[in-house]
Amino acid sequence: MNLRLSDIFGGAMAYWRRDKAVLLPVSGLFFFLPVLAFQLFITRPELPATATNEQVMETMIAWFSGNVHWMFLERLVTLFGAGVVLALLLDPTRPTLRDALGQAARRMPVLIAIWLVVTLLFLGGWMLFFVPGLYVLGRVFLVYAVGMAERRGPIDSVARGLALSRGRGWLFLLAAMVFYAGGFLLSAVAGGIAPLDRSTMAGEILGMVS
């Protein structure tokens, strides 16, 4: 089958038009809010202009070590959200939101394992050089969808996703770059919101949930 980029986004738009009433709040809850919370509550390291490369590295390692648990938690929330969205879109039985939440919860161990395998593949490609790392992004484009739609284990999901993307790695890379650009824009929007009044916004949010 001669798959084109327009086919990928045409299908995505068809799904969006069909289910946007539920996809919009789910995306806001599991994708936008975690990014916004991270921007609001996690302080970015500040480096003087005269910092040496060694000082920069030490500061970044210290910041990462102090916040890795929050980064992991954010990733868990977005993985769960991805599972919910994939269940809503790909399950032929058209599950309710409650059923999709249940499916995502049951598949979370598999999604986490897939994420770890994909991360290792990406790092392996990245260490070889910049281009192989990017190519890996295209080849693993379908693995989460396979894991949810076909109820496979993590290794089988990755193997099946790689098989489906054979000969289409660069095409899926272009699609992935568009979606990642959307995620970057989301992060930028959240980052633009957070500095407006960091202490006031954080206090109001904490007041609402406490």
Q: What is the pLDDT along the chain (210 residues), one digit of tens a residue?
A: 567 766 677 777 888 888 888 988 998 889 888 888 887 888 777 777 777 888 888 888 888 888 888 889 989 999 999 999 999 999 888 999 999 999 999 999 999 999 999 999 888 887 777 777 788 888 898 999 999 999 999 999 999 999 988 888 888 888 888 777 665 565 555 555 544 443 333 333 333 333
Backbone phi, psi, residue 46, to 5° = -110, 130
- Please provide the size of the chain in residues: 210
Alpha helices (runs of H) in the chain, residue ranges in sequence order: 5-27, 33-41, 53-90, 97-128, 130-139, 143-149, 154-164, 169-193, 198-209
pLDDT score of 113: 95
Separation of alpha carbons 121 and 133, rounded Å: 8
Residue 2 has a pLDDT of: 64
pLDDT of residue 147: 93
- The CA-atom distances, in angstroms, between 128 and each of 103, 122, 134, 172 are 37, 10, 11, 20
Q: Compute the chain's Rg from CA coordinates.
A: 19
Output the pTM of the full model.
0.76
pLDDT of residue 87: 94
The answer to whether the CB of 90 falls within 8 A of the CB of 149 is yes
- Burial tier of 112 (Cβ tally within 10 Å: 0-12, 13-18, 19+): middle
Q: What is the pLDDT of residue 132?
A: 78
